[in-house]
Structure 1
């Protein structure tokens, strides 16, 4: 997220390359997380938005929230098992 001078948030769109770098996941794993037929499906994974005829992107804020939820869930699991 980037803030404009007037304190309005400017949304950033992440393309696949940026998403892979941010998450450390491969393209196929990302699409598996989106596919309800996949054993890796994650209903909470951020959905892409259509940018053109064959282009998609992910809203950076949605991706950040998903990462934060993974961190929180991981910490809860570890604290319960400790």
Structure 2
């Protein structure tokens, strides 16, 4: 059974970069410090992000933490 929220699209890296204005390197650095949503693995070598998590991050990037993701039930 999938953990994906219902009605939630997945975004690939190019779209995440376009929406956030961040580079690939900055995105992965922030993931490592728990200040950016973690991607989900689609297949070997292929990841994506939940659109709702990226939207939440764009709305309040300074408030993002792994805890906030867990509190949202994502």
From 40, 44, 47, give the equivalent of 1:53.
44
| Larger of the two Rg values belongs to structure | 1
Shift in Å, 1:45: 1.3
**How many residues align structurally?**
58
From 17, 22, 33, give the equivalent of 2:19.
22
What runs of 5+ residues in structure 2 fail to find an aligned partner?
A: 1-5, 64-74
From 63, 66, 71, give the equivalent of 2:57.
66
Summarize deviations over 1:23-66 as a string: whole Å, max 9, x none.
Answer: 0011011111112xxxxx3x241110000011000000011111
Q: What TM-score do the two structures reach when normalised by structure 1?
A: 0.62
Deviation beyond 6 Å, 4+ runs, structure 1: none
CA RMSD of the aligned region, Å? 1.8
Distance across 2 between alignment mates of 1:21 and 1:29: 13
From 7, 10, 20, give the equivalent of 2:7.
10
